[in-house]
Amino acid sequence: MTTPVALTIAGSDSSGGAGIQADLKTFAALGVYGASAITALTAQNTRGVTGIHAVPADFVTAQIDAVFSDLEVGAVKIGMVAQAASIDVIAAALSRWKPGHIVLDPVMVATSGDRLLAPEAVEALRTRLMPLASVITPNLPEAAALLDEPVAVSEAGIESQGRRLMALGCRAVLIKGGHGEGAESVDYLVTPATTIALAAPRVATRNTHGTGCSLSSAVAAGLAKGEDLEQAARSAKAWISAAIAAADGFSVGHGHGPVHHFHKFY
């Protein structure tokens, strides 16, 4: 039996709730072996980010090449890329290795509001990484920022932004609705053929640190296991909703605490 493998290319969160740490926890919780290529070290906790140390671009390449030259990578998740130089080498490496699935989470701002992507790198993300992506997973503010538009507030507006994002080259868009309002948190999977609304009850908790990272990693895990995109998105939505619902079982930090990645196990 082949072990499903997923690679996360992202930043490290020293407090363990988001970034590489959240991705690896997600992969493990969903039965996928996780590998990582770290783009940046962050000094952060549940209250905010106090420092970012970018990994040199050539060492990002070295990590990606080391993983692909040995492991059978079924899917790649790209999270925090930090700088334009990293985007260039990630795009070059993935064009060279050609993984079957690439999930791009365009991380620009942390849950705490701290900016994680240099403004000049946004254009590189649009033009270099988005065309490689099987699916991108922006939240509502990120979708708007990628298009230089106001945040969409209606279902029609969200679908329209999803279609305009696809026009930039990605094959599908999963717009995360956690920043919306109402009794339900609705994510929208926009593909060339259709738009699917994925709804779950909105959970009243401040423990949402790493939610976006974890959802995109859960999609990558599903793809690595051989699920199609709709199935992977539905599975990921159900899993992250349960992880958020169980988050208050944790007492970690004094700000936005983490979700409970291993809610199925303890």
Phi, psi angles (nearest 5°) of residue 74? -85, -30
C-alpha to C-alpha distance for 128 and 29, rounded to whole angstroms: 31
What are the angstrom distances between the C-alpha of 265 and each of 19, 75, 232? 22, 24, 21
For residue 244, how far is the Cα from the chain centroid? 16
Q: Which of 39, 11, 15, 40 is nearest to 23 (CA)?
A: 11
**Catalytic pick among 176, 222, 237, 257:** 176
* Residues with Cβ within 8 Å of residue 67, at least 6 apart in sequence: 7, 35, 37, 73
Strands 33-45 and 5-13: parallel
**Catalytic pick among 26, 42, 61, 208:** 208
Whether 213 is catalytic is yes
Whether 225 is catalytic is no
Whether 264 is catalytic is no
Quickly tell me which residue has 């254009």 as its tokens. Answer: 123
Total residue count of the chain as it appears in this document: 266
Q: Which of 3, 40, 45 is nearest to 20 (CA)?
A: 40
**Catalytic pick among 11, 34, 162, 210:** 210
Here the tokens at position 21 are 């740490």
Strands 5-13 and 75-78: parallel
**Catalytic pick among 8, 39, 211, 257:** 211
Whether 211 is catalytic is yes
**Catalytic pick among 74, 177, 180, 212:** 212
Q: Return the bridge partners of 51, or none.
A: 43
Here the tokens at position 34 are 């996780």
- Terminal-to-terminal C-alpha distance of the chain: 27
Here the tokens at position 73 are 């990578």
Whether 208 is catalytic is yes
Active site residues: 176, 208, 210-213
